[in-house]
Amino acid sequence: MAEKRTTVTLREEGEYGQVQIADEVVAIIAGLAAMEVKGVSSMAGGKFGVKTPSKGVRIDILEGVVCVDLALNIDFGYSIPETSKKVQEKVKAAIENMTGLEVSDVNVHVTGVDMEQEN
């Protein structure tokens, strides 16, 4: 069964027409931005064996306002509060700059700590 995709209108009918964006695109922006933060090991969740930039990301868009939930793994040795704050700032800025949508919340759920094994 295919997932239901929703879209949000960024701009109503204008000179050239309407601009819409799929919520999956907003999720991909959030996932890629989160992975750019030093200390984030990987995104958690998603379907086993499926690699997508939106893995571990849930987006809710209501009246042009975005709420983001991220599930991620942190590298051992990094401060969870500091890394989470950087993720929140980076994700909020990326979504707002790329889409023009307002971001109300970026909730970070740390689901694991990645212990890099040294040889």
pLDDT for 25-76, tens place per residue? 999 999 999 999 999 999 987 554 445 678 899 999 998 899 999 999 999 9
Burial zone of 35 (CB within 10 Å; 0-12 exposed, 13-18 middle, 19+ buried): middle
> What pTM, to 2 d.p., does this model score?
0.84
Mean pLDDT of the chain: 86
19-22 and 7-11 strand pairing: antiparallel
Instruction: Please provide residue 82's backbone torsions phi and psi, each rounded to the nearest 5 degrees.
Output: -65, -45
Question: What is 8-47 written as a DSSP string?
Answer: EEEE-S-SS--EEEEHHHHHHHHHHHHHTSTTEEEE--S-
Which among 31, 9, 32, 6 has a CA at the least distance from the CA of 20?
A: 9
